[in-house]
Structure 1
Amino acid sequence: MGGNTLKLAAANGGSVTAVTEQKIRSDAQPVSGTPFSVQVSVGADGTSVSAQTQETVTLIFGKFLGKPTATISVHAQASVVGKTRLCVLALDPSSAGTLTVQDHASMTASTCSVYSDSTSASGVTLQNQATILATSICSAGGSSVSTTIPPLPGPKSGCPSLVDPLAGRAPPPSSSCTYTNTVVTTSQTLYPGTYCNGLKVTKGAVATLAQGIYVIDTGPLTVDGNATLTGSYVGIYLKSQQTTLNFTPQSIINLTAPKDGAMSGLLIYEDPTAPLLREHKISSGNARQLLGTIYMPRGKLTVDSAGIIADLSSYTVIVSRQLKVASSANLTMNAMYSASDVPVPSGVGNIGGRLLLTQ
């Protein structure tokens, strides 16, 4: 009961403790007149609750053995995986630094959870003057923290591995080339379709994406040269092994994911058959609206801008093979789901969690 209460967004340590103790006393039914104690504690990160009961019982033959009573103590602990809101999940099952924050960078996820699936002893790595602020920071393995600014709360080690919550999402349909070798150098509106040999926006141009799905095939999506990429209710599918994402420091990005259709809630979706650990980069000094879910199940996403990223989004979720936040970037993971009509994909965002008896 206490473990299930942990899943509630409004749950706090006091309510979890009270519910757990009440349930134990209701179910245990101690013998009248026999001392019976219950001690309940909630983990500092709010993802576990432990209880210890102790009772003194009379031994039937104890008086003949010189020991008329005995004290029996029972201890149990339950943990919740993916508690309440999951906004960052790094999927790599074994690599060191699967989730890394370094240099002067920070990750602010004050109302949601950050998770590394790696069983490495340093699956979560913080270096230099980097830090993370989150509801919880969890690693299936361990953490390596060598930073002057401690993360809050401290990373929890030995968390159960999570299954990729978006693995069941089918890629959006794509067609033969709608556009080929597209380079945007003057401000214009672009339209959904398949962009073969990539798409580049440069030389100060403003590319406005009309609502729909953009399949970037056999080439990178690049925004540089003080150019702008903007669009509402758009989904970007990075198809084939040659397709990577590169938002350079001299770019402005303002994007909102679709509210319906094949990429509902997905802002960026990497081809699930892509080569492992190809790098995608968000280095933009002005990418403050990235509303939706960035899903890169095979890639390494590097956020190394010199500014605040995604802070104007109602919500942002990142699920990637690896995630690195570097330079002086402040990656801000909001979780104000009700403030947007873009749905949160099932399995991330507001979830009840999976309750495990860990002791």
Structure 2
Amino acid sequence: MTPKSLRLAFRASTSGGTLVLFALALPVLMGIGGVAVDYGTWVKQRSQLQAAADAAAMAAARELAVNAFEPLRMQAVAESWAKKAFPADGAEIGLATTVSSLDDGRSVQVRLTSERQQTLSGMLAIVPGTIEASSVATLRGQRKVCVIALDPASSATIHLKSNAWLTAKGCDVHSNAVSSSGIASDSGIQVTAARVCSGGGFSGQGTFYGSRIGDCRGIDDPLADRLAPSPSAGCTATKASVVDKGTAGGRHLLQPGTYCGGLFIGGNSYVSLAPGEYVIKDGPFVVDSNADVRGDGVGFYLTGTGSTFQFLSNARVDFNAPRSGAMAGLLFFEDRAAPLLRNHEIKTNYASNMTGTVYLSRGRFVVDATNDVAQQSAFTVIVTRQMLLTANPKLTINTNYGATTVPVPKGLGQTDGDVHLIR
């Protein structure tokens, strides 16, 4: 072989070795590139996981406003929100959720762990490992809830018509209705509240002062566990009627008891109600036009057929709820077996003091007046199936809880406030 042919053979041999080396190095080079590509995916995945942990912690902390920390319930809530908020680009990635309560009892910590998504880095047999995120949410402050419409299924569960005004400064007005018109209003209405919340939305016009929020979480009946009064056997009176009794200086006195067939207080009567529980059974409680009725420490339990209340035009009503007993804090308690959506009506302009809670879990609270209502009350709380303000009433919901010894029933007045992320 000539020297030239040897040189040519050597060159051929060198080129073949380079190809072999390149072939051997190619998987390594691709693996390194794959790690770089997957690293960008892991950064995005970590960001998504943190957002999911934040959402899950916020949702779990909101549950503390309903009840104390319960591990199974909190775990279910957190897992649901974490899966909803962590799509991981549609990949089937394992997601582990751990929920714990912090020492203050008002904070919840959620820890999420997920497998890393792996695309190209597997060429180097790299074990993907896991990504973790943690978030803590807490309840801060307190909110005052003074009006709750419990009906979740209907529209216009809070309905303000004509030129009705609802003034609830410093407290929340809440409708559980999930309808897009859960709270309905006419153009002339005015609502003043710290916050007006609808489980669905709002329809109509009018003026709202304060926050107006849709898609609010529903509020369970805060008095659902409250035991109803136990009426005594027999009737204190049957179809009792007080007509033209008493004077401004010497009032006719009624005693607590069971009023079968209802209680009618006729026009121009001056009546005082002695403290205690008044069971209005199988008939309405009617205060007729121009009557004047006062009672301190009185509560009305409405049970049986036709057991509603009606305060007719120009009747003067001044009530403070009981301070103790089965009706403590409650002005009206509607039987939970009552038919749905019976009207309980205030048609007078002179129902100036209604200190206490109006609890109508089955009924509709109607104010059909042309002037101020409840404006002199220390506080009023309304829990009703539905509420209708019509004509031109100005219903005032005060929250001066410290100005009276009438108690605010547990679960009303003050509730846990807003949820905040703290880390």
Determine whether 1:305 maps to 2:363: no
Cα drift, residue 206 of structure 1? 1.2
Tell me the SS of whatever aligns to 1:277.
Answer: coil
Residue of structure 2 aligned with 1:166, choices 217, 223, 231: 223
Deviation string, structure 1 residues 110-163 (Cα, Å, up to 9, x no partner): 11100000001011111130111000000111111322xx21125200011111
The alpha-carbon distance between structure 1 residues 260 and 94, as it changes in their structure 2 partners (threshold 3 A), is same
1:156 — aligned with what?
A: 213
2:175 — aligned with what?
A: 116
Determine whether 1:134 maps to 2:193: yes
Instruction: Give the share of equivalent positions with the same residue, in percent.
Output: 38
Conserved 8 A contact 1:209-1:232: yes
CA distance in 2, matches of 1:290, 1:207: 16
Determine whether 1:181 maps to 2:239: yes
User: Within 5 A, what are the aligned runs for 1:156-305?
Assistant: 156-175=213-232, 176-185=234-243, 186-187=245-246, 188-305=252-369
Tell me the SS of whatever aligns to 1:198.
Answer: strand
Amino acid at match of 1:349: G
Deviation string, structure 1 residues 136-193 (Cα, Å, up to 9, x no partner): 000111111322xx21125200011111001111111102211111111112100000
- Which protein is richer in strand relative to its size? 1
Which contiguous aligned blocks of 4+ residues in structure 1 show a shift greater than 6 angstroms? 1-4, 76-82
Higher Cα Rg: structure 1 or 2?
2
Cα drift, residue 80 of structure 1? 7.3
Conserved 8 A contact 1:102-1:127: yes
CA distance in 2, matches of 1:205, 1:131: 35
CA distance in 2, matches of 1:220, 1:139: 32
Amino acid at match of 2:325: G
Amino acid at match of 1:330: K
Q: Which 5+ residue runs of structure 1 have no aligned equivalent? A: 8-73
The alpha-carbon distance between structure 1 residues 140 and 79, as it changes in their structure 2 partners (threshold 3 A), is farther
1:331 — aligned with what?
A: 395
Amino acid at match of 1:92: D
Deviation string, structure 1 residues 53-74 (Cα, Å, up to 9, x no partner): xxxxxxxxxxxxxxxxxxxxx9
The alpha-carbon distance between structure 1 residues 121 and 130, as it changes in their structure 2 partners (threshold 3 A), is same
Amino acid at match of 2:294: T
Q: Which 5+ residue runs of structure 2 have no aligned equivalent? A: 1-53, 65-132, 247-251
Tell me the SS of whatever aligns to 1:335.
Answer: coil
The alpha-carbon distance between structure 1 residues 79 and 109, as it changes in their structure 2 partners (threshold 3 A), is farther
CA distance in 1, matches of 2:342, 2:166: 22
Tell me the SS of whatever aligns to 1:338.
Answer: helix
CA distance in 2, matches of 1:164, 1:355: 21
Conserved 8 A contact 1:81-1:160: no
1:101 — aligned with what?
A: 160
- Which protein is richer in helix relative to its size? 2
Conserved 8 A contact 1:83-1:113: no
CA distance in 2, matches of 1:81, 1:219: 46
Tell me the SS of whatever aligns to 2:402.
Answer: helix
Q: Which has the higher contact order (CA 8 A, sep 6+)?
A: 1
Tell me the SS of whatever aligns to 2:406.
Answer: coil
The alpha-carbon distance between structure 1 residues 311 and 193, as it changes in their structure 2 partners (threshold 3 A), is same
